[in-house]
């Protein structure tokens, strides 16, 4: 993983720890899958990886339980 994505992940991780319990593992899984897809499809990862890392970060600011 590129250094910039590691930095984004390290910055986002504390927020995920405050959010839903499954989100941290979910994002780590998605990062691996996203890198695989980018490699297989010859896609530029500069948009996909930050989107994967940050797509659920807002749950750290929602009430506990299912906010929907």
Q: Distance between CA atoms of 49 and 65, rounded to whole angstroms? A: 27
Q: What is the pTM of this model?
A: 0.84
SS3 content of the chain, % helix, strand, coil (to 5): 75, 0, 25
b/e per residue 12-29 (b: at least 16 CB within 10 A): beebbeebbeebbeebee
Using one digit for the tens of pLDDT, what is the confidence trace for 3-55? Answer: 999 999 999 999 999 888 899 999 999 999 999 999 999 999 999 999 999 99
Q: Domain extents for the chain?
A: 3-60
């Amino acid at each position: 993983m590129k250094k910039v994505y590691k930095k984004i992940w390290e910055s986002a991780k504390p927020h995920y720890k405050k959010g839903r319990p499954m989100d941290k593992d979910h994002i780590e899984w998605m990062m691996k899958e996203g890198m695989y897809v980018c490699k297989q499809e010859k896609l530029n990862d500069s948009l996909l990886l930050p989107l994967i890392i940050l797509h659920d970060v807002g749950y750290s600011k929602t009430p506990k339980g299912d906010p929907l």
